[in-house]
Chain A
Amino acid sequence: MGKKYKEVFLKNTWYENPVFVLVLGICSTLAVTNNLKNTLIMTIGVMLVTGFSNLTVSLLKNLIPSKVRMMTQVLIISFYVIIVDIILRAYLPDVSKALGPYVGLIITNCIIMGRAEAFAQSNDPIISFWDGITSGLGYMIVLVAIAFFRELLGFGTIFGYRVMPENFVNWTIMIMPPSAFFMLAIFIWIVKGFKKEGAK
């Protein structure tokens, strides 16, 4: 049993990482990656929503008629997203304001739907929960890496603390939308190159 959990973990964070292998779910969160703190909170939200909606879908899988399956999954996901949204608004109002509509957009994040459909539909609740959490983790790793470089080069800071020397000129492009695409492309390039080396 332990082996299966490890397998799921490795698969979701590396071999079949949702972002750089399957290219899913980059819609809503690329927009917040110019700030490390917001990215971290956003991805934790995604991770929890994926985990719990997987758990719920798996628990209910025998009760849901297959015709309304998609709709039910969307409703389950929106239910957890609303919880995340309310928690953020209560405890972290600044972040909630900065994220704006992107919290609500977690609902249409393809990773969550994808995991519910591909994994939770045909597996036990506990391992489905684990699958959701690790998929979220794989997602988090990529976005945090991108956010790290974007904030470092765009503002010269990390988590809001200045780390670059005083005479460092901020790369304005790094705060702008195009750089998110470039950073993700470079990330995918490096990872794929690395994998090819490994395959040889």
Chain B
Amino acid sequence: MSPNINPLVLFFASIFTSNILLSNFLGMCSFISISKNLKSSNGLGMAVAMVMTVTTALNWIVEKYIIIPFQIEYLRYIIYIIVIAAVVQILEMLIDRISPNLYISLGIFLPLITVNCAILGVALFMQLRNYTLLQSVFFGLGSGLGWWLAIVLLGAIRMKVDKAPVPAPLKGVGITLITIGIMAMAFMGFAGMINVQ
């Protein structure tokens, strides 16, 4: 569909204009439940950005060299999920070995990522839009960073909103959703600059 987009353009587009979270609604579950606290949102954001870059590239390779030659397109979802789960598992072990400090701050979030819709979503978008390997890497990295940016912003806003007088039925999830809506509108402001769909 879009083989000629410059990977760098794609990178910035997936951070700002077509932010995976705010325009495609992916990864909402953990987004809402974790963003109560700035520190853990930062940790989860970092983990998601990392996993997303690795899995998107790996899934591209799997798609090109395993799924298409063997004509097992109908098993695509299962294969993608297995790749994601495996990467998360390996990454967890690696981080534990290399940097125990990082493990303490990221460790608890890693298992959550397997069921994060954003990771699978990015892989599926990558396949649907026929990106090349380079484009996929930048797309994965950009989407991950965009997700990280969004969750940190929301985490910071929520800490302030918690102290504000909000109508009782709107407390908690309600006001959070409205905040996300306003954030989505702000990100839409970038939309005219680059358009990648």
Bound complex: CA A119 to CA B149 (Å): 35
Query: Do A185 and B188 touch (CB < 8 A)?
Result: no
Mask: chain B, 117-143; 1 = CB below 8 Å from A; 0 = not: 110110011001000000000000000
**Interface size on A (CB < 8 Å)?**
44
Query: Do A27 and B26 touch (CB < 8 A)?
Result: yes
Number of A-B contacts (CB under 8 A): 122
Q: Closest approach, in angstroms, between the C-beta of B160 and any C-beta of chain A?
A: 18
Mask: chain B, 157-197; 1 = CB below 8 Å from A; 0 = not: 00000000001111001110110111011001000000000
Query: Do B185 and A178 touch (CB < 8 A)?
Result: yes
Closest A residue by C-beta to B176: A185
Residues in A neighbouring B128, C-beta threshold 8 A: 100-101
Query: Do B188 and A178 touch (CB < 8 A)?
Result: yes
Q: Closest approach, in angstroms, between the C-beta of A174 and any C-beta of chain B?
A: 12
Query: Do A86 and B74 touch (CB < 8 A)?
Result: yes
Query: Do A105 and B120 touch (CB < 8 A)?
Result: yes
Query: Do B181 and A181 touch (CB < 8 A)?
Result: yes
Residues in B neighbouring A105, C-beta threshold 8 A: 26, 117, 120-121, 124
Closest B residue by C-beta to A24: B29
Residues in A neighbouring B182, C-beta threshold 8 A: 178
A26's partner among B24, B28, B124, B174 (CB-CB below 8 A) is B28
B31-88 interface (Cβ within 8 A of A)? 32-33, 74-78, 80-81, 85
Interface check A170, CB cutoff 8 A: no
Query: Do A78 and B170 touch (CB < 8 A)?
Result: no
Query: Do B188 and A189 touch (CB < 8 A)?
Result: no
Query: Do A28 and B26 touch (CB < 8 A)?
Result: yes
Interface check B5, CB cutoff 8 A: no
**Interface size on B (CB < 8 Å)?**
43
Query: Do B121 and A101 touch (CB < 8 A)?
Result: yes
Residues in B neighbouring A100, C-beta threshold 8 A: 128
B25's partner among A31, A85, A193 (CB-CB below 8 A) is A31
Query: Do A81 and B29 touch (CB < 8 A)?
Result: no
Instruction: Report if A189-B74 is in contact (Cβ < 8 Å); known contacts: A30-B25, A181-B178, A181-B180.
Output: no
Residues in A neighbouring B177, C-beta threshold 8 A: 181-182, 184-185, 188
Additional A-B contact list (11), CB under 8 Å, known A24-B29, A79-B78: A31-B25, A74-B85, A82-B74, A82-B77, A104-B120, A108-B115, A108-B121, A176-B184, A180-B181, A184-B177, A196-B168
Which residues from chain B sit less than 8 Å from chain A, CB to CB?
22-29, 32-33, 74-78, 80-81, 85, 114-118, 120-121, 124-125, 128, 167-170, 173-175, 177-178, 180-182, 184-185, 188
